Amino acid sequence: MFDSASLPKSQRRIALVDVNSFFASCERVFDPSLEGKPVVVLSNNDGCVVALSKEAKALGVKMGIPWFKISAWAPSVGLVAKSSNYELYGDLSSRVMSILHEFSAHVEVYSIDEAFLELKGTPEELVVMGREIKAAIQNKLGLPVCVGIGRSKTQAKLANSGAKKSAGLNGVCNLDTFTPEQIDHIMAALPVDNIWGIARRLSKRLNSIGIHTIKDLKDADPVRIKKKFGVVVQRSLYELRGIDCIKLEGERLVKNQVMYSRSFATPVTTRKQMEEVLAVYAQRVSKRLRKQGSVAGALTCFAGTSRFANEPFHSPYRNAVFSVPTNDPVEILKASSAVLLDSIEDGRKYVRAGIMLHDVSPKTSHQYLDLFTPLHESRQLGEVLDQVMEKHGAFSIGLGAAGFKSPRHWEMKREMLSLRATTRWDELATVHAR
């Protein structure tokens, strides 16, 4: 095993910064009355619990339980439910990642609520830096985070778990501050499925050859592990030993696919209604495409009835290719309507639909002479829509049916939606002075 005494006093380390109970914590930012209360966040159409605060977990609320099963019980224990506020969560996530870039030039956004970053310094300096990261995010955004620091991503994950569970660490754990014997003691107390990337099914296979704890895997023969479980598990073994095998990935500026898909609050039953859905979705998915400065060469659009309804399942799935890569909402709507609407059967109860754009590439990689520039590209309609909505609000203008301000019965139900205070001018938080 590695001896920390043989390593330089100051060198590169990997930190994992993770927002605690992210969705619930976001809900508390603009509603301090929720602090200390059990909070759950619900899935689309206020269906199931998808996120819980630590107080909700303490009540025994389980992830995935349908809200209707506990809604009558909730008031008696002070349980508060919130609809998924994707706009707020996404914006606060972006702000967290922006703060992390102030501490490191190498940041890998791993998920909406966690990121790896490269740090350098002595063990003591890295603990101080971890506390500074924690304080910066708390003070600027009101979000609590934990910081785990190790010699590899897997060690950082392990350290982050320790930072969450041990109150004495105050949310920051650097494995370099522990002796090798202490680390071994910690690893020996944790089941092997506590390792990042080791699922329960794989852990059972590891158990069958005598590997029950994290320490068991760290001390195993790498050649034997690779032969029985492959290079991925062997890599985890090396990472536990402090060998950095899983490199930080740079931020992907252009995503390979861009999709907008939602379930409906009430079923869509006619082609006319589905045309309205496509108008709204085409506008929203094209905006995502423009936001990353890219264009798409093809699309897939789909709709589906419920698999559990008392009628045959119907899920048309159609593709289209653009003659010229584009992010124009009109072209996307034309293409999706042309291929999907003929497959929609009036009277069926469609519960979801979506548009996926693929063959995505940077817009700058497609240059045309003025004479050959397609008309829809020269009009830059999408950019005009973006500018109007930026100035006058998200619902100030729309493409076809997407411009109607009247409520759409099929729009996703979010009856307990909190303020989208950072992305909607009309939902800014109100501050009351005492």
Tokens found for residue 226: 């690779």
Residue 352 DSSP SS3: strand
Beta bridge partners of 61: none
CA distance 386 to 53: 36
CB 31 within 8 A of CB 208: no
Beta bridge partners of 13: 119
Beta bridge partners of 318: 301
pLDDT at 71: 93
Query: Which stretch of DSSP H or E encloses residue 378?
Result: helix 375-379
How many CA atoms lie within 13 Å of 352's alpha carbon, on the beta-carbon side? 15
pLDDT at 318: 93
Q: Where do the domains of the chain lie, and which CATH numbers do they carry?
A: 11-164 (3.30.70.270), 178-241 (1.10.150.20), 258-403 (3.30.1490.100)
CA distance 401 to 277: 8
What distances in angstroms separate CA 194 from CA 198, 214, 229, one per listed residue? 7, 8, 17
pLDDT at 404: 54
> Could you tell me the mean pLDDT of each successive run of 10 residues in the chain, 434 residues long?
44 93 94 93 88 94 93 94 90 92 90 92 94 96 96 94 90 94 92 87 91 93 92 92 84 70 86 91 90 90 87 91 89 93 93 91 69 60 71 65 59 80 82 75
Strand duo 107-111 + 80-83: pairing: unpaired
CA distance 209 to 204: 9
Per-residue burial over 40-69, b if 16 or more Cβ lie within 10 Å, else e, is: bbbbbbbebbebbbebbeebebeeeeebee
What distances in angstroms separate CA 312 from CA 79, 268, 304, 305, one per listed residue? 39, 16, 11, 9
What is the pTM (predicted TM-score) of this model? 0.72
The beta-strand segments (E) located in 282-349 are 294-305, 317-326
CA distance 103 to 128: 12
CA distance 195 to 213: 9
| DSSP tag of 430 | P
| Residue 19 phi, psi (nearest 5) | -75, 130
Best CA proximity match to 295, nearest among 327, 332, 321, 322: 327
Tokens found for residue 386: 């973006």
Non-local (6+) Cβ contacts of 35 within 8 A are 28
